[in-house]
């Protein structure tokens, strides 16, 4: 099997490569988000994404996953890699594989939103990998507030003084990775986005 990542979307710049897994099946920490997961609509509209993501899951379990991913990404010019627009870190071994990939590619920036707070997210995390803890998990009590967070709110809800409102909320513009790189670069940010 060959590695393949998608490139950008309506929000993310074409400078961002995206690796996806099947939603919920690989989301052990899914909580409230199960009811409004953005990927439900994607999987209904584009039936081909389910077999593609299932293939990615099988690939992530393979012993040569790290080697193949490093070889693939080292040939790509895109500076950013989003790990999971769909899916999550389903166990520690898989998370550690991504950390090993990032360590071998110090000129790339990796970022992921996760609800897998039961894993050791911080030990061994490379500096070029930004992890944002997404509220709404079944383990929200395990969120480490000394590290980046992300939460989805309804329009009109108030933000705290320490939170940053995503500038692309609900807009049909590609800009993450071009105009704004806060989620990719800021190791201490608390990002808020509107539910849409």
Choose among 171, 186, 179: nearest CA to 14: 179
Q: What is the pLDDT of residues 146-169, one digit of tens each?
A: 998 988 777 778 888 788 888 776
The pTM assigned to this predicted structure is 0.89
Asked if residue 155 lies in contact with residue 143, where contact means CB atoms within 8 angstroms, the answer is no
Q: How far apart are CA 20 and CA 148, in angstroms?
A: 21
Q: How far apart are CA 114 and CA 131, in angstroms?
A: 7
More confident residue, 172 or 82: 82
More confident residue, 4 or 62: 62
Choose among 133, 114, 109: nearest CA to 189: 133
Q: How far apart are CA 170 and CA 146, in angstroms?
A: 28
Choose among 33, 3, 1: nearest CA to 17: 3
Q: What is the pLDDT of residues 104-115, one digit of tens each?
A: 999 999 999 999
Q: What is the pLDDT of residues 82-141, one digit of tens each?
A: 999 899 999 999 999 999 999 999 999 999 999 999 999 999 999 999 999 998 889 999
Asked if residue 49 lies in contact with residue 20, where contact means CB atoms within 8 angstroms, the answer is yes
Place of tokens 């584009």: 46
């Amino acid at each position: 099997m060959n590695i393949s990542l998608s490139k950008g979307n309506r929000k993310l710049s074409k400078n961002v490569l995206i690796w996806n897994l099947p939603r919920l099946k690989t989301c052990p920490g899914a909580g409230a988000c199960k009811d409004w997961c953005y990927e439900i609509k994607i999987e209904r509209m584009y039936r081909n994404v389910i077999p593609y993501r299932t293939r990615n899951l099988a690939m992530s379990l393979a012993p040569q996953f790290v080697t193949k991913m490093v070889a693939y990404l080292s040939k790509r010019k895109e500076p950013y890699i989003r790990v999971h627009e769909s899916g999550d870190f389903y166990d520690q071994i898989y998370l550690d594989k991504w950390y090993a990939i990032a360590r071998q590619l110090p000129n790339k920036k990796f970022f992921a939103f996760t609800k897998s707070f039961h894993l050791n997210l911080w030990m061994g995390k490379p500096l070029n990998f930004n992890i944002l803890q997404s509220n709404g998990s079944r383990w929200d009590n395990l969120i480490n507030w000394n590290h980046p967070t992300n939460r989805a709110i309804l329009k009109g809800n108030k933000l705290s003084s320490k939170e940053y409102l995503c500038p692309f909320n609900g807009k049909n513009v590609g800009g993450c990775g071009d105009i704004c790189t806060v989620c990719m670069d800021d190791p201490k940010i608390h990002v808020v986005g509107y539910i849409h």
